[in-house]
Amino acid sequence: MSGRHLKSPILPGSAIGVLGSGQLGRMFAMAARRMGYRVHTYSPDEDTPTGQVADLEVTSPYDDLDAVREFASCVSAVTFEFENVPAETAAAAAECAPVRPGGDVLHIAQHRFREKTFLANAGLPVTPFRHVETFEDLEIAGLQLGLPAVLKTAGFGYDGKGQFTIHTGSELSDAWKHVGEREAVLESFIDFEREVSIVAARSEHGEFVHFGVVENRHHNHILDITIAPACVSENVKRDAIEIAHEVLEKLDVVGVLCVEFFLRRDGSLLINELAPRPHNSGHFTFDANITSQFEQQLRAVCGLPFGSVRQLAPAAMANILGEMWQQGEPDWAAAASAPNVKLHLYGKLEARPGRKMGHLTALAATPDQALKDVQAARRLLAG
């Protein structure tokens, strides 16, 4: 399902297709256009974050496979900016252009049970889990795994959507209703020290680069802060890098993939989720690294050598959510008064609670200082 192999690098001046049109595609398009590529984006929406900076915005449903084929026939390669693109869409695109990463990677990563089963069969460390298709399955799984546990929809979940933490047996019915009484995965509740992730890239020839281990802090299940680098032991860094490398190898990824981990209190790591694309926790690389995650995605897709991943300074990233607009327009001038803080806005037309509207990145002498600076800048936004 990955399409044709590249016979030679896809050179600047070529058009690259992006399935999806959110902020990840927007930043990919910025990196691609800076290197002289054209970008076409495909999604059901119009005037999108990606479409505002792309050369061509195609608005059509993902299940219009003829439109997908026409889109792919006009570009030199296709990539993704989010994983909830139907696998059939990726397969249709692959008939007309190389798709990076392949649709088989997408098929695994967009479905929690397939993803966790793949990882477990590969001998990689995952949270204990059970497949749930009926309420009776949930009752049995709860007995097998024990409570507390977390019930998650099998597909199309992100930012905590479709999740319910079950503390007692009396909550099983509420949990089943919360996920829509549909296919799900029950996972053991992990008492972890912190959440960390690695964004990495792999080429068609197996070259592997990564942006180091970063710490992620969440609020209401949505990523709130990323600190780069994470303050973890050298053993944890080594283990996380090794696991991430093995994940990309096992999946035969050509492109960028993020591995999210739970770091347990004994120093061991469990894979929480995979994202076969650039990731929110890698946004800091746009400002802090010689080569960003978005440029590495482009380089992998086009068969170019990878750029240096060296980080120029410690960094911290803070998301800007739609809540920031509840008291009126944020104070952009105040936030811009911090000379070491970069503002990124995604061009979304409507601010809604929980919606990612932009982010701030601070560069400083230490990770702690970068964290303080980015939090201070975000407070200034709120007036």
Tell which CATH classification among 3.90.1150.10, 3.30.470.20, 3.40.50.300, 3.40.190.10 matches the domain 192-381.
3.30.470.20
Render pLDDT for 249-263 as a digit per residue (tens, 0 to 9): 999 999 999 999 999
Report long-range pairs for 289-295 (Cβ below 8 Å, ≥24 apart).
Answer: 289/211, 292/27, 292/31, 293/199, 293/201, 293/211, 293/256, 294/24, 294/27, 294/28, 294/30, 294/31, 294/32, 295/31, 295/35
Query: β-strands 269-275, 255-264: how paired?
Result: antiparallel
Q: What is the model's pLDDT at position 7?
A: 62
pLDDT tier for residue 3 given thresholds of 50, 70 and 90 = very low
* pLDDT of 1 over the 50 cut: no
pLDDT tier for residue 53 given thresholds of 50, 70 and 90 = very high
Predicted TM-score (pTM) of this structure: 0.95
Q: What is the DSSP string of 309-351?
A: --BSS-EEEEEEEGGGGTTSS--HHHHHT-TTEEEEE---S--
Angstrom CA distances, 132 to 46, 84, 97, 136, 365, stand at: 36, 20, 37, 8, 48
Render pLDDT for 318-344 as a digit per residue (tens, 0 to 9): 999 999 999 899 999 998 899 999 999
> Hey, where are the domains in the chain?
15-109, 128-188, 192-381
Domain 128-188 top-level CATH class: alpha beta
Across all residues in the chain, what is the average pLDDT? 95
Do 15-109 and 128-188 come out as alike in CATH topology? no
In this structure, CATH architecture of domain 15-109 = 3-Layer(aba) Sandwich (3.40)
Q: What is the model's pLDDT at position 2?
A: 43
**Average pLDDT score over residue span 302-310:** 98
Render pLDDT for 172-192 as a digit per residue (tens, 0 to 9): 999 999 999 999 999 999 999
Q: What is the model's pLDDT at position 155?
A: 84
Q: What is the model's pLDDT at position 156?
A: 67
